[in-house]
């Protein structure tokens, strides 16, 4: 498989690379290893994202692709909920506008056997560097509260978090927005905030990705100013 030309060594055994269509087979391997089938991207979806001008960075260890982060450029205001995508399909298939102020991060994955490495944190840092270089002022993520229902699949093992589930259910039933403390009890949400060096939980959107049963189809939209 031909390798992408853009490389930058970060640690002795891990390299960040920019991915392209020539890497499609390797991208699909990480999708299948990292995500439950219901939320894996198809080849058609990945091809479409590249055609829309999206950027995908990969983490390699000894030449093997072990993870990736995928994002698009878009326009965003934390005061404009009406104009924000309400589904994952819309969020992850934004066409690249001529002018933009933000990066929408819709995919971060690391294969299970490498989740103890620095791959995920280095991918996030590389994304921030690229976004800043390209003039973005916001990074926006669709945070996946995987412990809402939890999962015991081979792709991920996350215990259900009753405190998180109760806080989200209360909000969706008309109660107060969950506290940062409550949301940070979810390992995925906490990871994003910790590695990003801060950020804000902004919106909670039910039915964002209905097939994601561990997360109850919910996404917690977070953002950080660069």
Section 81-105 average pLDDT: 98
Section 142-157 average pLDDT: 86
The Cβ of residue 93 has, within 10 Å, a number of other Cβ atoms equal to 17
Distances (CA, A) of 19 to 6, 41, 56, 166, 192: 8, 15, 5, 40, 22
CATH architecture label of 71-225: 3-Layer(aba) Sandwich (3.40)
Structure token digits, residue 101: 């102020």
What is the predicted pLDDT for the residue at 9? 39
What is the predicted pLDDT for the residue at 72? 98
**pLDDT of 152 over the 90 cut:** no
The alpha carbon of 208 is separated from its chain's Cα centroid by a whole number of angstroms, namely 14
What is the predicted pLDDT for the residue at 48? 98
Distance CA(154)–CA(196), nearest Å, equals: 27
What are the residue ranges of helices labelled H in 24-183? 24-34, 43-51, 88-91, 119-133, 162-172, 180-183
Section 187-195 average pLDDT: 89
- What predicted TM-score, i.e. pTM, was given to this entire model? 0.90
DSSP H or E stretch at residue 190: helix 187-196
Structure token digits, residue 34: 């990292």
Q: For residue 9, with 0-12 CB atoms within 10 Å meaning exposed, 13-18 middle and 19 or more buried, which class applies?
A: exposed
Distance CA(102)–CA(7), nearest Å, equals: 24
Residue 157 pLDDT class (50, 70, 90 cuts): confident
**pLDDT of 3 over the 60 cut:** no
């Amino acid at each position: 498989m031909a390798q992408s030309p853009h490389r930058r060594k970060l640690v002795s055994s891990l390299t960040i690379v920019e991915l392209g269509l020539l890497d499609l087979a390797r991208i699909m391997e990480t999708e299948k290893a990292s995500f439950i089938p219901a939320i894996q991207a198809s080849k058609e979806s990945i091809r479409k994202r590249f055609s829309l001008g999206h950027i995908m960075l990969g983490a390699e260890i000894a030449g093997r692709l072990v993870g990736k982060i995928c994002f698009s450029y878009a326009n965003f205001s934390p005061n404009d909920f009406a104009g924000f995508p309400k589904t994952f399909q819309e969020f992850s298939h934004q066409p690249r506008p001529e002018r933009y102020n933000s990066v929408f991060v819709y995919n971060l994955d690391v294969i299970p056997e490498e989740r103890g490495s620095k791959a995920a944190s280095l991918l996030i840092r590389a994304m921030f560097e690229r976004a800043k270089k390209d003039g973005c002022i916001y990074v926006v993520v669709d945070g996946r509260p995987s412990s809402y229902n939890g999962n015991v699949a081979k792709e991920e093992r996350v215990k259900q978090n009753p405190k998180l589930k109760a806080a989200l259910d209360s909000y969706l039933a008309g109660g107060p927005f969950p506290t940062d403390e409550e949301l940070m009890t979810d390992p995925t949400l906490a990871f994003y905030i910790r590695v990003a060096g801060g950020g804000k939980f902004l919106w909670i959107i039910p039915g964002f990705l209905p097939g994601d049963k561990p997360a109850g189809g919910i996404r917690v939209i977070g953002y950080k100013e660069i």
